[in-house]
Structure 1
Amino acid sequence: MTVIRLPDGSERVFDQPVTVLDVASSIGTGLARAALAGKVNGKLVDVDSLIDRDSELEIITENDSEGLEIIRHSSAHLLAHAVKELFPEAQVTIGPVIEDGFYYDFSYTRPFTPEDLEAIEKRMLEISKRNIKIERKIFDRSEAINFFKQQGEYYKAQIIESIPGDEELSLYSQGNFTDLCRGPHVPTTSKLKVFKLMKVAGAYWRGNSNNEMLQRIYGTAWSKKDDQKHYLNRLEEAEKRDHRKIGKQLDLFHTQEEAPGMVFWHSKGWALWQQIEQYMREIQNSNAYLEIRTPQIIDKELWKQSGHWDNFRENMFVTDADERSFAIKPMNCPGHVQVFKQGLRSYRDLPIRLAEFGSCHRNEASGALHGIMRVRAFTQDDAHIFCTENQTQEEVVKFINLLKRVYDDFGFKELLVKLSTRPAKRVGTDVQWDKSEAALEAALKEAKLEWELQPGEGAFYGPKIEFSLKDCIGRIWQCGTLQLDFSMPERLGAEYVAEDNSRQVPVMLHRAILGSFERFIGILIENYAGAFPLWLAPVQAVVLNISKGQINYAKKITDELNRYGFRVSQDLRNEKITYKIREHSMQKLPYQIIVGDAEVSTSQVSVRNRAGQDLGQMTLLKLVEHLKEEVALKV
């Protein structure tokens, strides 16, 4: 007798061992048709897997996250099957699931073309309609190696040879195609209906540049057509919002090969940067942060003390002078500890919050560089809070509230939070970790934030909170962090005089809100598609004259608005006003201020907003009042 306990607490009793599909059928034909796999005692298995003992069972369908992953994994096999039917000489290698889809790497004599991708996708649809049963078979290592060698699949044979141990291996077959895989897979190819091949890229075998360059075909797969349609629309929208294209279109910045991973900021881009920096400075000053500045280049001995030389050396730029080795700082924290150490600190002085718009350099791999989102030279809105253990929770709560306010001002209303706890390899006592994790968890609850736990993902010196924001097309960007550090202040000799006159090591909170200015500006560009809110816009308005007769008046209006503190340009060219309006609309300026003879005679201006709405005529003072109100609201 086999007893199966279901997620709702109910039980099904069978006289003999049963498959996952048998159980689903006993519940209902609809569930049996929808079943993609099962989770038996927490382990995913195929629907035809036999259950021969009392077990807990969850039926996995397309509505489950595991179901979608199984669909994508099976779609990778479907892709390989189609390639082998169309290009029998191609060798298959690996085909994993990735975010939003899958890929498969192939060895083939010539590059796959866009026409090839169309043919492969068409063949995938044909195989899907054949409704081929997908079957799992068990091989021992030598059998599996010989099987793939006989098939001419030498990459698969290499993969098996590199697997340690002598355990049996599972192979999945669908018709005349067989692949190595742990599974599970969908029961038949007909379950794979919603997919699309996206692109081809190069990838070295096993990621080693000394090996053959393979061809990686990327695809996406979904359980529902509407989900895929939404995803493809999101990709199309993201392409339109690419910060590199918009940065060039709006003349904000550029990068070039002579300075890889470093940004050339143009006047408009730097105006945007300055607006963000001034805003952050005001926010930090009003929250009792002390702004400091620390050196760009520091002797390697300090980096050894902090632990960075041993753990981060490959990412650091190093230079020599006066027979000494120096590193260009990849982060600001050791420098901040040096500032804290100047003078005798008392518990009465704490907390001390030191902030720096710190310029850092890291030797990122050239292949990882991406516009201004991933660079080698960047500036962080970095700060370190030195406090007592008893002050930790209060400081965390204050920081969370500050971070929420900042994100809200920049237009990001949805916040995702993760708490990462102690890793296996760590410093500090269990008592310290208990206190610090409890403090962060209590602070998150006090701030009334929902959060996800990431066990074992904390830094070696302390737990951390990660803050991610969601942009207007649903993409997630991890920006803010808060890390609790017992290690660095002790390693670098930071201490304060406690109430009992003993010397104590302060707790050090590493915190950033934006992360790096470069990346955050890239996020802003893509979120707003370059149409920044008035308070951020590099150029907030442009004054346009209709004819030569209004040039002096247009100049006067421009000067007056700039004196009021607005960023206003002027276009006095001898062009048709419709041409100038259209051209500046392409620059996504919030306002266009138009002056003709009627405006000159009444000492007014005509105002047009970015949406193309004519706001009518108004006096300069009324316009100033309108702009000030919009800036203050940060809408």
Structure 2
Amino acid sequence: MKFSLIKKGVSYKPMINVTLKDGSVRRYEPGTSLLEMAFDISPRLAKETLVAKVNGKLTDLNEKINQDSAVEFLTFDSDEGKDVFRHSASHVLAQAVQRLFPGTKLAIGPAIANGFYYDFDTAQSFTPEQLEKIETEMNKIIKEDLPFSRVELSREDALRKFNERGEQYKIELIDDLPEEAVISCYQQGEFEDLCAGPHVPSTGRLKALKLLNVAGAYWRGDERNKMLQRIYGTAFPKKSLLEEHLHRLEEAKRRDHRKLGAELDLFSIQEEGPGFPFFHPKGMILRNELEKFWHQEHKKHGYDEIRTPVILNRALWEQSGHWDHYRENMYFTRIDEGDYAIKPMNCPGSMLIYRSRLHSYRELPIRMAELGLVHRHELSGVLHGLMRVRCFTQDDAHIFMLPGQIKDEIVSVIDMVNDFYQVFGFKYHVELSTKPEKAMGSDEIWELATSTLQEALEARGLPYKVNEGDGAFYGPKIDFHLEDCLGRTWQCGTIQLDFQMPELFDLTYVGEDGQKHRPVMIHRVVFGSIERFVGILTEHFAGAFPAWLAPVQVKVLPITDRHMEYAHKVVEKLAQRDIRVELDARNEKVNYKIREAQAQKIPYMLVVGDREAEAGAVAVRHRSQGDLGAVQVEQFVEDLVQEINSKECK
């Protein structure tokens, strides 16, 4: 590294100013690489930095800087650093596959949440044993510490290069790029791939990785295209982080709601209805408790409940914009020679109810809440238990308000969502999604709506991430992402501000001036969908639901048949207080009955024998705390009722 000292009579090279994230400024000779700058700041930073952001643009560390710039160095601790790290791992995966299976054609290999994948076109069927060989080859490539080198090409040269290799998927990707796009390839060793980058400096940075599984995937997600083989993997800069992640994956398998749903007899997905869940009696108890809580909270917050039809005619969906913007996700039918659609969303029905009579400004805000069943067409390949289904119950609400009420109503919804999630012990983070490419309304309306959402978030002091272009087609939105006990996040609650639908449906209210005015509308959900929230809770609690949600709250276990009469009396006392209780009257040893009840994750087991019958007591066992000792029946009932009413999550 060369530095300048000011000496009289000596000429110097011009220097560039590099402004770091903390606002400090360092001076370097033009042509200094980002990696050299990181080393100058701190050898440790140079070791841990994976990529840099130069004037807001992600850039390879090997890039040389020739002008004044703002530079931020990113490590694996940042989301962007993780993505670059894992995308680099996908290139190593592709290189290993082509080394072991020459002739394999490459599709795409992006970073994804907690990992990466690459899609391959080959006659070879990848087996678990072959994954081990590929992983061994990847580790060999990592030890070779091959530099990632970027080369920019003209469109003609890029097409010629990949045409010579027979890489038809790369050719298709190039053809889809806009004319002004910069086309680049990245090379490590003998391997070269079409890629916009950036990448880590060399393969040696990758350290610890694991290939996880193989799945089928249609090229570009289109079932009309060829089925490719997708290899999933994950990568970390430290072995300890990889081991921790693999442990979480094993724990996630143990908690899989599809497995627990069958074991606990909560729900099923039948061949006769792929993507259409069947809720069994115990599953209905769970969702009914969630819905009961939902009803109570909405009444408390001033909402009126409504119910709208599942099927409505084509003219309505054309008016709402769904026919043009959402048709590929909808189901259709014919009634009386007319076109009808099964609703994918509840909002048009709410607007018809609002429009059914005249409203005064004195009535606003009007808050309509609906547990509405909606249907959306999802490809079979993305269906996943209760998490991704084709019909679900949205806990919708639509708020019609005066323009001056917008901020207060959004803040109120934010507070309500927070109250809901605290009951279940969920932490969450917030994301703000802005105008998508395919949207209704003017830029001015979108800017007003977006800034209003920002003001509400800031009024509550909530940090948030901006998702550019990810809003609904009719307005920007706030999304709430829950974090479960394994650190996974789930998008559930949403607040969408809408200036478009009231215009499309000609919704009005009579203002103080006696004239008609246009209301503003909020769409919002808290659970997101009842089905998905049941799936999330099942995995979060590993099926061991808190007592207020548990389908069976208490199991009474008589030691022998002669204790059956007293056991029935205990059951009756519990049932009188609306406690969900079952009696295990089987002629089995009590230890066996306890193990069975624990396997069913029942919160409390009450063992009754001679001593308990004589004392009017029960021997209490908790599924996780074990033996809690003998308690009078009345005291146990009072304690449990208190636990249920307070919605304790233990």
When normalised by structure 1's length, the TM-score is: 0.93
Conservation of the 8 A alpha-carbon contact between 2:116 and 2:233: yes
For 1:488 and 1:168, the matched residues in 2 are separated by: 40
| From 580, 590, 596, the counterpart of 2:603 | 590
Alpha-carbon distance in 1 for matches of 2:89, 2:633: 63
Q: Cα distance 1:28–1:392, how it changes in 2: closer, same or farther (>3 A)?
A: closer
Q: Would the alpha carbon gap of residues 158 and 349 (structure 1) be closer, same or farther in structure 2, given more than 3 Å must change? A: closer
Residues 319/28 of structure 1: CA separation in 2 closer, same or farther (3 Å cut): closer
SS of match in other structure, 1:245: helix
Give the distance between the partners of 1:318 and 1:159, measured in 2 at CA: 34
Is 2:373 the partner of 1:373? Answer: no
- In 1, the alpha carbon distance for the partners of 2:397 and 2:466 equals 24
The CA deviation at 1:370 is: 1.2
**Do residues 277 (structure 1) and 277 (structure 2) align?**
no
Q: For residues 558-607 of structure 1, what are the alpha-carbon distances to aligned partners after superposition, in whole Å with 9 as ceiling and x for unaligned?
A: 12211111111111111111111111110000101111121112222211
Q: Secondary structure at the match of 1:185?
A: coil
Report whether the alignment pairs 1:539 with 2:580: no
Instruction: Tell me which amino acid in the other structure corresponds to 1:110.
Output: Q
Aligned 8 A contact 1:2 1:17 in 2 = no
**Equivalent residue of 1:381, what SS?**
strand
CA 16–424 in structure 1, closer or farther in 2 if over 3 Å, else same: closer
CA displacement, residues 216-246 of structure 1 (integer Å, 9 cap, x when unaligned): 2111112222322222222111111111100
Offset from partner CA, 1:106-145 (integer Å, 9 cap, x none): 2222201111111111111112112233333344444444
- Cross-structure match for 1:165: 179
105, 109, 115: which one aligns with 1:95: 109
Could you tell me which of 349, 353, 359 is aligned with 2:373? 359
Q: For residues 629 and 81 of structure 1, do their structure 2 counterparts lie closer, same or farther at Cα, with a shift above 3 Å needed? A: same
Q: Look up the equivalent residue of 1:564 and give its one-letter code.
A: R
Q: Counterpart of 1:256?
A: 270
Shift of 1:633: 2.2
1:510 corresponds to which of 490, 513, 523: 523
Alpha-carbon distance in 1 for matches of 2:74, 2:476: 34
The answer as to whether partners of 1:4 and 1:57 remain within 8 angstroms in 2 is no
SS in 2 for 1:70: helix
In the alignment, is the contact (CA less than 8 A) between 1:306 and 1:334 conserved in 2? yes
Pairing partner for 1:604 from 608, 617, 621: 617
Q: For 1:493-504, what aligned pairs fall within 5 Å after superposition?
A: 493-504=506-517
Aligned equivalent of 1:115 = 129
The farther-off stretch of 108-117 and 90-99 is 90-99
Sort the Cα spacing of 1:79 and 1:439 in 2 relative to 1 into closer, same or farther, 3 A. closer
**Aligned mates of 1:107, 1:424 — CA distance in 2:** 32
Give the C-alpha shift of residue 31 in structure 1: 4.5
Cα distance in 2 for partners of 1:14, 1:411 equals: 50
Residue in structure 2 matched with residue 39 of structure 1 by the alignment: 53
Q: 1:409 aligned to 2:433?
A: no
- Map residues 296-307 of structure 1 onto 2, 5 A cutoff: 296-307=310-321
The match for 1:230 among 244, 249, 258 is: 244
- Matched with 1:522 is 535
How many residues align? The count is: 634
Whole-angstrom distance in 1 between the partners of 2:185 and 2:78: 25
What residue number does 1:563 align with? 576
Q: What percentage of residue pairs aligned between the two structures are identical?
A: 49
Aligned to 2:456: 443
Of 474, 491, 507, the residue aligned with 2:487 is 474
2:594 counterpart residue number: 581
C-alpha distance in structure 1 between counterparts of 2:523 and 2:177, whole Å = 41
Cα shift at 1:448: 3.1
Q: Report the 3-state secondary structure (helix = DSSP H, G, I; strand = E; otherwise coil) of the residue aligned with 2:359.
A: coil
CA 1:495–1:164 in structure 2 vs 1: closer, same or farther (change >3 Å)?
Answer: closer
Matched, 1:615 2:623: no
* 8 Å CA contact retained: 1:3, 1:11: no
Choose the corresponding residue for 1:335, options 349, 374, 379. Answer: 349
Contact 1:136 1:171 in 2 (8 A): yes
Structure 1 stretch displaced more, 529-538 or 460-469: 460-469
**How far 1:252 moved relative to its partner?**
0.7
Asked if structure 1 preserves the Cα contact closer than 8 Å seen for 2:325 and 2:473, the reply is no
CA deviation digits over 1:599-632, x for unaligned, max 9? 1122222111111422222222111111011112
Specify the code of the residue in structure 2 equivalent to 1:571.
D
Q: Structure 1 stretch 91-100 or stretch 41-50: which is displaced more? A: 41-50
Q: CA separation of 1:433/1:316 partners in 2, compared to 1, >3 Å: closer, same or farther?
A: closer
For residues 314 and 592 of structure 2, the distance between their equivalents in structure 1, rounded to whole angstroms, comes to 59
Counterpart code for 1:378: F
When the two chains are superposed, the root-mean-square deviation of aligned CA atoms in Å is: 2.4
Which ranges of structure 1 fall in alignment gaps of 5 or more residues? none
Unaligned stretches of 5+ residues in structure 2: 1-13
Amino acid at match of 1:95: G
* Aligned equivalent of 2:91: 77
**1:237-284, Cα deviation, whole Å (9 max, x unpaired):** 111111110011101111111112112111111111111111111111
Distance 1:365 1:618, change over 3 A: same
